[in-house]
Structure 1
Amino acid sequence: MNATTQAPVDGRSARWARHREERRAELLDVARHLIHENGPDVTMEDIAAASGTSKSIVYRYFEDKATLQQALGRSILSAMHAKLLDEMRELESEVGREPAADERIHAMIRAYVETAQRSPAVYRFVTRPSDGLNHFLNSVSRLVATFLSDDVPAPQIWAHGAVGFVEAAVDTWMTELQQQATQDDPGTRRPLLTSDELVTYLITWLMKGMHA
């Protein structure tokens, strides 16, 4: 069947596919807000109730929590990617040249830390050990590799190592923040790194070894 004899797309099928995609996006948005407010231990039943629908409908769009974790991770990564592209264009416009490797890495780590800090519960949900976490970190690594300059050797290996390092460091930092927030006696609290300080240290630790 060639282009002139190919049957037209069924309009009803196209509308149904669009409806399913919109409904899935709505459920994902509800899940994100619910996790942000109530923590990463929300259930599929909680999401169904908050969406005003049944659990079976939620499972129709997300077969399990790992699928939901992957979908939420992809959504977060997409937002990070768009933010990074905007920052790279803005930086290139300001300095009149292509951003250097350290500038690119700084922007990416800052975006990662800000994402975690913006909603710790959602970050905890997305980065729970599972296939969903592996998918998220692998996707972040591929994104990092595309932003590296050409003079970085073995960019995929460097990106995977850097993402693993940053993820572990941010996870520890978030845990310490949470523990400090629950301490009853403010006098026992020790100073912790601010998000800007964390980004600066991570950049310093990573960039020292980039061109070794």
Structure 2
Amino acid sequence: MANHYDIPSWAGKPPVGLHLDVMKGDKLIQKLMIDEKKCYLFGRNPQMNDFCIDHQSCSRVHAAFVYHKHLHRAFLVDLGSTHGTYIGSLRIESNKPTQLPIDSNFHFGASTRNYIIRERPQTGARPIIEELEKQSEEAEGGLLGLPETETELDNLTEFNTAHNRRISMLGIGEENESANNRVRKRKKRGVTFNEDEEVINPEDVDPSVGRFRNLIHTTVIPSKVLYF
């Protein structure tokens, strides 16, 4: 059992929309997005893994999902777990990358949860996250069609929910960053003074000021008359 995993040099970022359907029997429990990192770890320890497997038969760091950037294929690596990692019903060899085809299912130890690797849905509008990544590029059209069956509609709804959850988390950081930028911009504002002295003649501003200045004279009138 390994406590960590050294990501191989051939690992690369998966295509946009790659995800896992988490199944409990025939019921879809959750969709896990796996299109942002080169490697995702699965295990019982929530601090050491990307996805926690809450089952006693699973190891602390049980397995790794890695995407090959040259072959454009996904691989699953068992990290020396005690009870093994299975693709279908076949237990894979420990510490050896095993190809994981699209739509194949896998599980860990004796856990009854199955994981099915899926590409992004081909129906409905393009994922929002892809639109954000390609906002500077030329638009590629709009809708690709609506789901034809209830199952396709459910899958598309769950997929968009997973995307929106991730975007909302990203939006919090972007909003805080924008608020901080606005605060910094406000702090830069201030009052400036002109060092050159500028004398303004009141007559230049209002021509009526000082118009009769030369006609004014002063006369002193005594309040009492003195008699001699």
TM-score, L = length of structure 1: 0.25
The answer to which structure has the higher helix fraction is 1
The answer to which structure has the higher strand fraction is 2
TM-score, L = length of structure 2: 0.24
